[in-house]
Amino acid sequence: MPTIIDGKKTSAEIKNEIAARVKEIKAAGGKVPHLAAVLVGNDGASQTYVGAKVKACEFVGFESTLVKLEDNVSEEALLKTVEEINENPDIDGLIVQLPLPKHISVEKVTAKIKPEKDVDGFTPANVGRMALNWPTYVAATPYGIVELLKRYEIETSGKHCVVIGRSHIVGSPMSILMARNDYPGNSTVTLTHSRTKNLKEIVKTADILIVAIGKPEFVTADMVKEGAVVIDVGIHRIEDASKKNGFRLIGDVKFDEVSAKSSAITPVPGGVGPMTIASLLYNTLLSAERKVYP
Ligand code: NAP
């Protein structure tokens, strides 16, 4: 039986650890961490994500500010809002919920966020610091994966890690983190993408397989080496009439057959997904305690 890497449980543990630290800070008369989230427009999914982030702040005892802007807000006005939050000494962390409306440049907005407050870890400065293995805010999904590997004491040194997908938010940072001289890390990394030849053969040599391809149940048992550690980042809604809400969630990995061959695996749901909010809270705490930029 493989170890099921439980992101829901781990995320709850991290939140409790953060809540305990906030209690200590409050007891010592220190500054309560404060996260500001900017939400543009009325996209249902974005509202749900931001709502969950605000609720998580309440749970751990952080202060939070939610700035809601209309769908048709100008790029200039959004940049100004970011600047105001940048300059507000009471706010430790700033996130701008993505996606943004088409008339607004994500690059411009990201570049405007002060690296010291960039708790999403998206600014070039913080991505660069991650690549250099300097203290930084690691982006939510890579942070979640690293933390799961750590807490489940997965050996990574000298292992062959294959990453499927090279997105800026998951695959690329994971390949950097797994190759750095640290724990987790010290793996020999192969980063694959849509132009990769012989993908199946490469994947079959993975001791650690990180899948962020965005294709439902793409990885099947015949692609996976016996005893591999499998991290499934994918998340897809599949219609399912037997469910109350009419759908179920599946990953990029065919869980039932791949889990039978793996030594450890993240389920979907309940694997990587729940870790993302914990990471945001953790980065905000790092910022409030000046651990990244002293
Ligand atoms: P993405 O930006 O769509 O990137 C997908 C990557 O897969 C690209 O690099 C692409 O290659 C590669 N790819 C596509 N087809 C391929 C093929 N046939 N063979 C090999 N590589 C192929 O995806 P993402 O944003 O990283 O997200 C991936 C999945 O994770 C999605 O299901 C997403 O919903 C999920 N996700 C989950 C979380 C979470 O918290 N659980 C967070 C983020 C994302 P090219 O670069 O060559 O196009």
The whole-number pLDDT of residue 41 equals 96
The whole-number pLDDT of residue 242 equals 95
The whole-number pLDDT of residue 267 equals 98
Q: Find the 10 Cα to ligand 1 centroid distance in Å.
A: 24
CB of 65 within 8 A of CB of 55?
A: no
The arithmetic mean of pLDDT across residues 75-83, rounded, is 98
Determine whether 55 is an active site residue: no
Encode pLDDT of 139-193 as tens digits: 999 999 999 999 999 999 999 999 999 999 999 999 999 999 999 999 999 999 9
- Ligand 1, atom 30, lies closest to the CA of 234
The arithmetic mean of pLDDT across residues 215-229, rounded, is 98
Report residues whose beta carbon is within 6 angstroms of any ligand 1 atom.
141, 164-167, 169-171, 192-196, 199, 212-214, 233-235, 272-273, 276
The whole-number pLDDT of residue 137 equals 98
The whole-number pLDDT of residue 121 equals 97
Phi, psi of 65, deg, nearest 5 = -130, 130
Collect all residues with Cβ–Cβ distance below 8 Å to 247 and sequence separation of at least 6.
237, 238, 239, 240
Peptide bond into 99 cis (omega under 30): yes
- Percent of the residues in the chain that have a pLDDT greater than 90, as a whole number: 100
CB of 213 within 8 A of CB of 194?
A: no
- Ligand 1, atom 22, lies closest to the CA of 194
Q: Which domains does the chain have, with CATH numbers?
A: 28-114 (3.40.50.10860), 140-273 (3.40.50.720)
How distant is the alpha carbon of residue 283 from its chain centre?
Answer: 11
Gyration radius of the chain over CA positions? 19
Of ligand 1's listed atoms, the one at least distance from the Cα of 275 is: 40
Collect all residues with Cβ–Cβ distance below 8 Å to 84 and sequence separation of at least 6.
none
- Ligand 1, atom 48, lies closest to the CA of 194
Encode pLDDT of 80-112 as tens digits: 999 999 999 999 999 999 999 999 999 999 999
Nearest one of 256, 248, 157, 264 to 210, comparing CA atoms: 264
Q: Find the 164 Cα to ligand 1 centroid distance in Å.
A: 8
How distant is the alpha carbon of residue 174 from its chain centre?
Answer: 10
- Ligand 1, atom 40, lies closest to the CA of 273
- Residue 144 annotated in ligand binding: no
Cα–Cα separations (whole angstroms), residue 165 to 147, 172, 279: 20, 8, 21
- Residue 95 annotated in ligand binding: no
The whole-number pLDDT of residue 236 equals 95
Residues paired with residue 147 on neighbouring β-strands, in sequence order: none
Phi, psi of 58, deg, nearest 5 = -60, -45
Q: How far apart are CA 167 and CA 157, in angstroms?
A: 24
Peptide bond into 89 cis (omega under 30): no
Cα–Cα separations (whole angstroms), residue 116 to 40, 130, 146, 276, 294: 22, 14, 22, 19, 9
The arithmetic mean of pLDDT across residues 242-270, rounded, is 97
The whole-number pLDDT of residue 215 equals 98
By most ligand atoms within 8 Å of CB, the mutation choice from 192, 233, 237 for ligand 1 is 233
Determine whether 53 is an active site residue: yes
Residue of 6, 97, 117, 232 with catalytic role:
97
The whole-number pLDDT of residue 208 equals 99
Encode pLDDT of 44-66 as tens digits: 999 999 999 999 999 999 999 99
Residue of 92, 118, 120, 232 with catalytic role:
120
The whole-number pLDDT of residue 42 equals 92
CB of 34 within 8 A of CB of 63?
A: yes
Q: How far apart are CA 105 and CA 119, in angstroms?
A: 19
Q: What is the mean pLDDT of the chain?
A: 97
Residue 198 Rama label (left phi>0; alpha psi -120 to 50; beta)? left
Nearest one of 1, 2, 5 to 231, comparing CA atoms: 5
Model confidence at 16, in pLDDT bands (50, 70, 90)? very high
Residue 121 Rama label (left phi>0; alpha psi -120 to 50; beta)? left
Q: Find the 172 Cα to ligand 1 centroid distance in Å.
A: 10
Nearest one of 81, 63, 1, 80 to 26, comparing CA atoms: 63
Of ligand 1's listed atoms, the one at least distance from the Cα of 213 is: 7
Considering the entire predicted model, what is its pTM? 0.96
DSSP 8-state secondary structure symbol assigned to residue 143: H
The arithmetic mean of pLDDT across residues 13-37, rounded, is 98
Q: Find the 265 Cα to ligand 1 centroid distance in Å.
A: 18
